[in-house]
Amino acid sequence: MEEELGLIEALYERIVKDDLSEAHIKLDNIYKSKGNDMTGVVSVYKNTKPANDILDELKDWAIEHKKQDVLNKIEGLSIKR
């Protein structure tokens, strides 16, 4: 647990030092050796809603308002290239 808190602390310090609203650490291609190509992300937000919550709300809004073009765009942006 201390390692995880160390990552969080580093992100917190970056936010404070650079006066940011958010900071992230992204790890690409994790577990690829086990046959799974995954991405891991650790984020810290200051007075800001997390991006994954915003995306979920946007998807719900697009479904409710029948905005297929928005859903298609979200799906297209979600594909890892």
Bridge partner list, 22: 45
1: pLDDT strictly greater than 70: no
**DSSP labels, 15-78:** HHHHT-SEEEEEEEEETGGGT--EEEEEEEESSS--HHHHHHHHHHHHHHTT-HHHHHHHHHHH
Helix 51-64 vs helix 68-78: angle between axes, to the nearest 10 degrees? 150
pLDDT in tens, 51-66: 999 999 999 999 999 9
pTM of the model as a whole: 0.77
What is the arithmetic mean of pLDDT over 37-62? 95
pLDDT above 70: percentage of residues in the chain: 99
Over the stretch 18-35, which tens digit does the pLDDT of each residue have?
999 999 999 988 888 888
Q: How far is 50 from 24, CA to CA, in rounded Å?
A: 11
